[in-house]
Amino acid sequence: MTRYGVILVTLTDSNPKPASTPVSLGGVRGGPKVKTLRKGAWWLPQLASGVGLFLFVVYATWTAFRNGHYYVGNGRDYLSPFYSPCLTSSCVNTSNHVFNWWKLSPALLILIFPGGFRATCYYYRKAYYRSFWFSPPACGVTEPHKKYSGETKFPLILNNIHRYFWYFAVVFAGILTYDAVLAFRFSGGIGIGLGTLIFIINAVLIWLYTLSCHACRHLCGGHTNTFSKAPVRYWFWKKISVINPHHMLFAWLSLVWIGFTDFYVYLVAMGTIHDPKFF
């Protein structure tokens, strides 16, 4: 008899009728209905993130096709982050028309990169897999799909290009930082208005989201077995590791704030509200 067998016998002897708990966490794949032993509102985060992502996609679609009121001039220099950098002939704030052949909304040209970065983000993948595809709905909950191929087939295999989108994301974070600097420009010189603060917060949140990326952390600390031989990378890896656990928070904050920044520019450009200048 093994050591564990002795323990089992001992427990059984002292508890003649031990309570038994049927273990059926998650049930079977392709089950007819949700089955779980989880208590509480396990579905609430999925519902909240699903609603949030849906609303943002609706707003972003409207903004991308709006093709107007995305720039505030006349003593201000605010460009909506959905339209930055503005490269086409339809832009109103620049003479640097690189893509003059593009006749549609310039946002449609720009959003491929930040949109691709967000769509392939590890966090957002988890969110939309759970909220929209129920694959799975949550940990320990029945998987409704009969088959599972992970991210090994088209189209989900495309999510593996996330690490390459990261390089574009760094460029865009730099551009949005430049836009935040331009937001200090006023007709009489430099100053700070409400829009300036909104643009600064937007740039900070974009950097936090971009640098807390899991691919960024791997870029800094991966591919090495001996940190003592790569002190610079180790330094960056330690710094990134501080913000990386909060990536989900930065993903949401930056998402909401980029929409808010665009809406603020839209309202000021429309003349609906006035942009107050503090000094």
Residues in contact with ligand FES by the rule CB under 6 A: 121-123, 162, 213-215, 247
Q: Are 240 and 212 in contact (CB under 8 A)?
A: yes
Helix (H, G, I), strand (E, B) or coil at 275: coil
Task: Give least dist CB 200 to ligand FES, A.
Answer: 21
Pairing of strands 78-79, 71-72: antiparallel
Amino acid at 42: W
Task: Give least dist CB 124 to ligand FES, A.
Answer: 7
Question: Nearer to ligand FES by C-beta: 67 or 177?
Answer: 177
Q: How many CB atoms lie within 10 A of CB 251?
A: 22
Distance CA 123, CA 214 (A): 9
Task: Give least dist CB 118 to ligand FES, A.
Answer: 7
List of residues 6+ apart from 25 with CB closer than 8 A: 36, 37, 140
Question: Nearer to ligand FES by C-beta: 215 or 243?
Answer: 215
Task: Give least dist CB 199 to ligand FES, A.
Answer: 21
Question: Nearer to ligand FES by C-beta: 141 or 176?
Answer: 176
Distance CA 214, CA 269 (A): 37
Task: Give least dist CB 121 to ligand FES, A.
Answer: 3
- What is the token pair recorded at 92? 């109103």
User: What angle do helix axes 214-221 and 162-182 make, rounded to 10 degrees?
Assistant: 110
Q: Would you give the DSSP letter of residue 72?
A: E
Task: Give least dist CB 161 to ligand FES, A.
Answer: 11
Task: Give least dist CB 51 to ligand FES, A.
Answer: 20
Question: Nearer to ligand FES by C-beta: 122 or 234?
Answer: 122
Distance CA 119, CA 108 (A): 15
Maximum C-alpha span of the chain? 90
User: Mind spelling out the 3-state secondary structure of 24-54?
Assistant: CCCCCCCCCCCCCCCCCCCCHHHHHHHHHHH
Question: Nearer to ligand FES by C-beta: 34 or 253?
Answer: 253
